[in-house]
């Protein structure tokens, strides 16, 4: 049960991250006009390579968040198993 819960939490976090980037205006096609990201970009001016803004846009453009889904789910399952062991097994 704990492993399944950890896997579900990992998946939910990954999906929420992707949705959050999209809602902020970071899309596969670039920064969405009129979005929060567009406003931030206007305030920044020229976006420096390696900056947080550039990294967020890169993740949104490449779909890297969703690409990490299997790994995040697996890690969540292992963490859930660890929580189960720590809370139910007598040490």
Residue among 35, 40, 11 at smallest CA distance from 22:
35
pLDDT tens, 10-50? 777 767 777 777 888 888 888 999 999 999 899 988 989 98
Residue 15 lies inside a defined structural domain of this protein: yes
pTM: 0.61
pLDDT tens, 49-64? 988 888 888 888 887 7
What string of DSSP letters covers 18-62? HHHHHHHTEETTEEPTTSHHHHHHHHH-SPPTTSHHHHHHHHHHH
Its domain, for residue 79, covers 2-86
Residue 38 lies inside a defined structural domain of this protein: yes
Residue 91 lies inside a defined structural domain of this protein: no
Residue 42 lies inside a defined structural domain of this protein: yes
Residue 23 lies inside a defined structural domain of this protein: yes
Residue 76 lies inside a defined structural domain of this protein: yes
Instruction: Count structural domains, the chain.
Output: 1
């Amino acid at each position: 049960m704990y492993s399944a819960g950890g896997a579900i939490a990992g998946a939910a976090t990954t999906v929420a991250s992707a949705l959050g980037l999209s809602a902020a205006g970071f899309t596969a096609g670039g920064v969405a006009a009129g979005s929060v990201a567009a406003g931030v970009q206007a305030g920044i001016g020229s976006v420096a390579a390696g900056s947080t803004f550039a990294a967020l846009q890169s993740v949104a453009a490449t779909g890297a968040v969703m690409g990490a889904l299997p790994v995040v789910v697996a890690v969540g399952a292992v963490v859930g198993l660890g929580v189960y062991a720590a809370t139910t097994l007598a040490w």
